[in-house]
Chains A and B, each alone.
Chain A
Amino acid sequence: MTDLHLDGLAKRYGETTALEAIDADVREGEFFTLVGPSGCGKTTTLRLIAGFEEPTEGGIRFGDRGMAGVPPEDRDVGIVFQNYALFPHMTVGENVGYGLRFRDPPGDVTDEERISNLLELVDLAGFEDRDPEALSGGQQQRVALARALAPGPEVLLLDEPMSALDARLRESLRRTVREIQQELDITTVYVTHDQAEALAVSDRVAVMNDGRIEQVGSPQDVYRRPNTEFVARFVGENNVFSGRVVETDAGDPDDTRVRVAIGDAEWLLPAVEPGVEGQPLREGDRVTFCVRPADLSPEEATNRLTVDVRYREFLGEVVRVHGEWNGRTVVVRLPDVLEDDRLALGFEPEDVHVVEAR
């Protein structure tokens, strides 16, 4: 068990920069997720932590143990890859026991006991003598998890472990992973491109883009209070607008609003920008703000917009409508199917989150 620190970590391959000086502190026993689109540097970060590659600049510490020059086999990490990477020439038991060739199992147990305990933990009790290739994808991934955990690593690294599985299996496996992680209280770094998955399982999430960390925070934080336009668009579905502040003292006297012009429309927004220490917005500021699709409703509201419906998707509980407003796409989630070609929608200022102001 250890905390994990990334100090100004950078990685360049010749001319291309994969990672640009990132800093992050992962707490002991935390489930920490790196999420971002492909090519954002999340996998590179994981590979640096595992020691498969050395950083160009900066360093990694496990607790106060510096990791510079420490080869992967001495780092005491367990890693699970997307494609399982089980050793096809070994049985399930031999796979899980492979790490025990080099390290004693934690606690006072024999190797065999440790193997069977772990297989039990991942719900594969008695699978020792099976051939890994005869197992289903989900089972193989659970074997990979058991294998990574067997020597009792300090840090567990998960590299898109669910991506190869179908949706239902993914959900059940991610619950298994989370439960085991909490039971063992093991410091975990999880890499995924799936923001919904990141929000569902993590203690904290780092949203990465283009070799940088855009925002670190709890899932609620990054969902409700994105710091940058990228985070606002990447995490969850969002409607992002930008406009100019035309009046700072609008609305109720006790609940100040600013008036913002977006094209022909004028809307009232909260008067402070939450991201930057609650600084008040000033006249002439260019603001970027977002409204979640579920916060737009067909009922009467302070801010109004009328969208031309382009198409509808029936999702079961709600209907997602993609419409057009002032030449941009607006997404809204409605409880009922409305057949109209034009929808009059509205939202309240308190449902708006201001992302950036310049």
Chain B
Amino acid sequence: MSEAGARDESGGDKDAPNRRSESGSRPIAVVTGWLERHGLGLASVVTALVVLVIFYFPVGLVLREAVFADGGLTFDPIAAVLLDPFYTGALADVLAHPMAVGRHLGAVWGYVTGIRVVVRRLVVLGYATPLPWPNLVMPSVRLGLIGFTAYQAALSTILSVLLGLPGAYVLSRFSFRGRRFLRSLTILPFVLPGIMVAIGFVAMFGTNGTLNDVLRAVGLPTVDILFTLKIVILAHAFYNAPLVTRVTTAAWESVDVRAVETARSLGASPLRAFRDVIVPQLLPAVLTGALLTFIFTFMTFPIVLALGGLQLATVEVWVYRRVQQLEIAEAAALAVVETAISLVLTYAYLRYEARQAEMGTGTPPEREPLVPSLRSLVSARRLAIAGYGVVVLVVFVGPLASMVIESLSGGTGFTLRWYRFLVERQATGAGFQTKPLPAVRNSLFFAAGTVAIAVPMGVTISVVTRRQRWGGLVQSMAMAPLAVSGIITGIGLLQGLVFGIPLPGPYRIQLTGPMAIVAAHAVSAYPFVVRNVSPLLARIDRAMVESARSLGATRGRALLDVELPLVASGVVAGAAFALAISIGEFNSTVILAEGATSYTMPVAVERYLGSRTLGPASAMGTVMLAVTAASFVVIDRLGGRFEREGGRGGPKP
């Protein structure tokens, strides 16, 4: 008799005859067994409920103002926004008279024929160089608020791509010490709180900033770009260029060297092979990064408010202003238009990302050493890279370093008085004053809560939407927090959760103070968990999970035993994002923490911001930088252990 034949043959039994975990009558086994079978479904329901209650309902509450008036449906507020040249510029006329095609075509023709090219001298950061440079002169056209928002987003996107691509080139094509470290550092700018970046930019590019100090020291004319579009765009590039670098590097590293070699053997020059083989493979990644940059900068708020002021207002800033003026209907209508635009872009982004995930990973070409010898540094290519290094130093390192320097200097030179101020405020501050330690404690507490909620939510969404027919749509809906105005979410949370959502009968859902803040943070953080986990999950061979299922694992068990360990690196990265987003979150925190004791570090930074000096705020900002960095290290260590235990040999990002 065979060994497999020794098993009993109780046919007709629905469950496998010798099933292990449910054989005992212990209640714990029954509960865990039930959880394994239904845990994923339960998690989906809970996730959906959380997103519904913490996001869709509050946001809906505010946006309803745009379409409901006097108990009936109305499109008046939205129409008012669309037809107001203040918002939609020249497009308002088109929207108001869509049938007057001839007139509009005439206007377009007039615009196109008005374009001129004038040769002027090249201007770099305010200096006129002797180089001739063609300048495009466009006839002025009224952009309107929405048009201007898109315009600055487009400029920011272009600059981000220009600043990001050389980084991808250096990171993917050269080997040097610290390359991997630098590669992982590209995540950092993206998660820095806006208020801190704003302070850093003022400290770096302000009238008395580090850049001007350096320029003065070497006897060059100073630049003054504060409160101009230039510094706003530069700050946007600070956030998003590393993002472009990141996605492009990943694509570049997965280019198959054999494709390039094939092109070369068929007679293509290195440049031609680059154009014909590598560029088409990089383009989707670059476009993904550009699209994401456009979405983020279209929704921009703290950077513009802090560095630009109202004359450079974007849609989001105007939503904030209208809310402050209690013009809720107009704010909501504006937010509806804004949300519609960014949702479409988000959907496009997700489609694009999915297509990229299908691209296989090949054998990338060997990296060449960045510094093979000192002599080699004089080549044009390496001089260009060195030049790029200087730009990186000014744009990316400069602001953060300037903030730290600012916190250590006062008027005449080195000083510790700003830190002394923090200590004194902590020791002797009155009850109503903002103290540093509670801010740190609150931030860490909220961050821990956010990670604990956002990571399971994000993982659940990733798992549930994978390879589903409606997965793409569900993912876009789940990604909505990325696309909806943070101001609106904040107001919605205040109106909805804090004041309470009435339920039938005497019940109401009410979340206040810290709970509401954690919930709001979790909702803005989980999309990043999804974005980190989903691509890795998509790469896991379906057969892996199916093998586990056939061997007796329930769906939930297979998730815990097989999938999670294999996407560990993505889960850890997602947790790091969630942590950083919670620590840096400003919009909804400032709304929900108003007056209460639950202020966080960015709120403290904002409250320390004085009119005369950046000192206390930059000291607090430096504390925040240190705390953020320390928590990153902790997550990395904890996550590293998790990865080692589980993720051996799994797909790496």
Q: Tell which of B9-17, B477-485, B618-626 binds the partner.
A: B9-17
Do residues B541 and A83 form an inter-chain contact, with CB atoms below 8 A?
yes
Do residues A85 and B649 form an inter-chain contact, with CB atoms below 8 A?
no
Report the Cα distance A152→B17, complex, angstroms. Answer: 11
Q: Which residues of B contact A151 (CB under 8 A)?
A: 551-552
Interface string of A46-80 (1 = CB under 8 A from B): 00001110000000001111000011111111110
Do residues B21 and A184 form an inter-chain contact, with CB atoms below 8 A?
no
B107 to chain A, nearest CB (A): 46
Q: Most chain-A Cβ atoms within 10 A of its Cβ — which of B551, B561, B647?
A: B551
Interface string of A156-200 (1 = CB under 8 A from B): 010100000000000000000000000111100000000000000
**Given that A149-B4, A185-B2 are known contacts, is A75 also in contact with B547, CB under 8 Å in the complex?**
no
Report the Cα distance A133→B554, complex, angstroms. Answer: 25
Report the Cα distance A64→B3, complex, angstroms. Answer: 23
Within residues 1 to 49 of chain B, which ones have a CB less than 8 A from any CB in chain A? Answer: 2-7, 9, 11-21
Within residues 277 to 308 of chain B, which ones have a CB less than 8 A from any CB in chain A? Answer: none
B543 within 8 A of A: yes
Within residues 527 to 568 of chain B, which ones have a CB less than 8 A from any CB in chain A? Answer: 541, 543-544, 546-555, 557, 561-562, 565-566
Q: Which of B2, B4, B548 contacts A98 (CB 8 A)?
A: B548
**Given that A64-B12, A103-B16 are known contacts, is A85 also in contact with B546, CB under 8 Å in the complex?**
yes
Q: Which residues of B contact A284 (CB under 8 A)?
A: none
A147 within 8 A of B: yes
Report the Cα distance A191→B27, complex, angstroms. Answer: 42
Q: Which residues of A contact B565 (CB under 8 A)?
A: 89
Q: Which residues of A contact B546 (CB under 8 A)?
A: 50, 52, 72, 79, 81, 85
A2 within 8 A of B: yes
Report the Cα distance A98→B552, complex, angstroms. Answer: 9
Do residues B554 and A73 form an inter-chain contact, with CB atoms below 8 A?
yes
Q: Which residues of B contact A78 (CB under 8 A)?
A: 550-551
A87 within 8 A of B: yes
Query: Which residue of A is nearest B554, CB measured?
Result: A73
Do residues A65 and B12 form an inter-chain contact, with CB atoms below 8 A?
yes
Within residues 123 to 147 of chain A, which ones have a CB less than 8 A from any CB in chain B? Answer: 131, 133, 144, 147
Query: Which residue of B is nearest A121, CB measured?
Result: B3
Do residues A79 and B4 form an inter-chain contact, with CB atoms below 8 A?
no
Q: Most chain-B Cβ atoms within 10 A of its Cβ — which of A74, A89, A99?
A: A89
What number of A residues sit within 8 Å (CB to CB) of B? 52
B563 to chain A, nearest CB (A): 10
B567 to chain A, nearest CB (A): 11
Query: Which residue of B is nearest A185, CB measured?
Result: B2
Report the Cα distance A135→B1, complex, angstroms. Answer: 32
B50 to chain A, nearest CB (A): 27
A102 within 8 A of B: yes
B399 within 8 A of A: no
Do residues B548 and A152 form an inter-chain contact, with CB atoms below 8 A?
no
Q: Which residues of A contact B550 (CB under 8 A)?
A: 50, 72-73, 75, 77-79, 148, 153, 157
Report the Cα distance A72→B549, complex, angstroms. Answer: 6
Chain A at the B interface: SS class: loop
Q: Most chain-A Cβ atoms within 10 A of its Cβ — which of B13, B548, B647?
A: B548
**Given that A83-B541, A98-B548 are known contacts, is A152 also in contact with B649, CB under 8 Å in the complex?**
no
Q: Which residues of B contact A50 (CB under 8 A)?
A: 546, 550
Q: Which residues of A contact B649 (CB under 8 A)?
A: 88-89, 131, 133
B648 within 8 A of A: yes
Do residues A85 and B547 form an inter-chain contact, with CB atoms below 8 A?
yes
B650 within 8 A of A: yes
Do residues A183 and B2 form an inter-chain contact, with CB atoms below 8 A?
yes
Query: Which residue of B is nearest A91, CB measured?
Result: B648
Q: Which residues of B contact A83 (CB under 8 A)?
A: 541, 543
**Given that A50-B546, A79-B546, A106-B4 are known contacts, is A70 also in contact with B553, CB under 8 Å in the complex?**
no
Chain B at the A interface: SS class: loop
Do residues B547 and A184 form an inter-chain contact, with CB atoms below 8 A?
no
A229 within 8 A of B: no
Q: Which residues of A contact B7 (CB under 8 A)?
A: 106-107, 152
A54 to chain B, nearest CB (A): 14
Q: Which residues of A contact B549 (CB under 8 A)?
A: 51-52, 71-73
B123 to chain A, nearest CB (A): 55
Report the Cα distance A5→B549, complex, angstroms. Answer: 21
Query: Which residue of A is nearest B23, CB measured?
Result: A104
Q: Which of A63, A79, A88 contacts B547 (CB 8 A)?
A: A79
A212 to chain B, nearest CB (A): 25
B390 to chain A, nearest CB (A): 43
A101 within 8 A of B: yes
Report the Cα distance A83→B540, complex, angstroms. Answer: 12
Q: Which residues of B contact A102 (CB under 8 A)?
A: 19-21, 551-553, 557
A250 within 8 A of B: no
A305 within 8 A of B: no
A1 within 8 A of B: yes
A329 within 8 A of B: no
**Given that A87-B544, A102-B553 are known contacts, is A74 also in contact with B6, CB under 8 Å in the complex?**
no
Report the Cα distance A251→B647, complex, angstroms. Answer: 75
Query: Which residue of A is nearest B469, CB measured?
Result: A14
Report the Cα distance A133→B541, complex, angstroms. Answer: 15
Q: Which residues of B contact A98 (CB under 8 A)?
A: 548, 551, 553, 561
Do residues A117 and B541 form an inter-chain contact, with CB atoms below 8 A?
no
Q: Which residues of A contact B566 (CB under 8 A)?
A: 88-89
B209 within 8 A of A: no
Q: Which residues of B contact A1 (CB under 8 A)?
A: 4-5, 9
Q: Which residues of B contact A82 (CB under 8 A)?
A: 543
**Given that A103-B552, A147-B547 are known contacts, is A117 also in contact with B19, CB under 8 Å in the complex?**
no
Do residues A107 and B561 form an inter-chain contact, with CB atoms below 8 A?
no
Report the Cα distance A144→B547, complex, angstroms. Answer: 9
B557 to chain A, nearest CB (A): 8
B190 to chain A, nearest CB (A): 29
Do residues B18 and A104 form an inter-chain contact, with CB atoms below 8 A?
yes
B419 to chain A, nearest CB (A): 46
Q: Which residues of A contact B13 (CB under 8 A)?
A: 65
B514 within 8 A of A: no
Q: Which residues of B contact A72 (CB under 8 A)?
A: 546, 549-550
B486 within 8 A of A: no
Within residues 62 to 118 of chain B, which ones have a CB less than 8 A from any CB in chain A? Answer: none
B646 within 8 A of A: yes
Q: Which residues of A contact B543 (CB under 8 A)?
A: 81-83, 85, 159
Interface string of A17-57 (1 = CB under 8 A from B): 00000000000000000000000000000000011100000
Report the Cα distance A85→B547, complex, angstroms. Answer: 7
Report the Cα distance A102→B21, complex, angstroms. Answer: 6
Query: Which residue of B is nearest A95, CB measured?
Result: B547
A3 to chain B, nearest CB (A): 10
**Given that A71-B554, A98-B561 are known contacts, is A89 also in contact with B18, CB under 8 Å in the complex?**
no
A63 to chain B, nearest CB (A): 4
Do residues A103 and B12 form an inter-chain contact, with CB atoms below 8 A?
no
Do residues A89 and B646 form an inter-chain contact, with CB atoms below 8 A?
yes
Do residues A74 and B16 form an inter-chain contact, with CB atoms below 8 A?
yes
Q: Which residues of B contact A87 (CB under 8 A)?
A: 544, 547-548, 561-562
A148 to chain B, nearest CB (A): 7
Q: Which residues of A contact B3 (CB under 8 A)?
A: 106-107, 117, 152, 184
Do residues A184 and B2 form an inter-chain contact, with CB atoms below 8 A?
yes
Do residues B9 and A85 form an inter-chain contact, with CB atoms below 8 A?
no
Q: Most chain-A Cβ atoms within 10 A of its Cβ — which of B549, B550, B647?
A: B550
Q: Which residues of A contact B552 (CB under 8 A)?
A: 73-74, 99, 101-103, 151
Do residues B4 and A186 form an inter-chain contact, with CB atoms below 8 A?
yes
12 A-B residue pairs with Cβ-Cβ distance under 8 Å, sorted by A, are A63-B11, A64-B12, A65-B14, A71-B549, A74-B14, A88-B650, A103-B16, A103-B19, A103-B552, A106-B3, A107-B6, A186-B2
Top 10 nearest A-B pairs (CB, nearest first) are A102-B552, A99-B551, A88-B649, A85-B543, A72-B549, A81-B543, A106-B7, A107-B6, A152-B4, A63-B11
Given A65-B12, A74-B19, A88-B650, list of 12 further CB < 8 A pairs? A1-B5, A1-B9, A63-B12, A65-B11, A74-B16, A82-B543, A83-B541, A98-B553, A103-B19, A117-B3, A133-B649, A149-B4
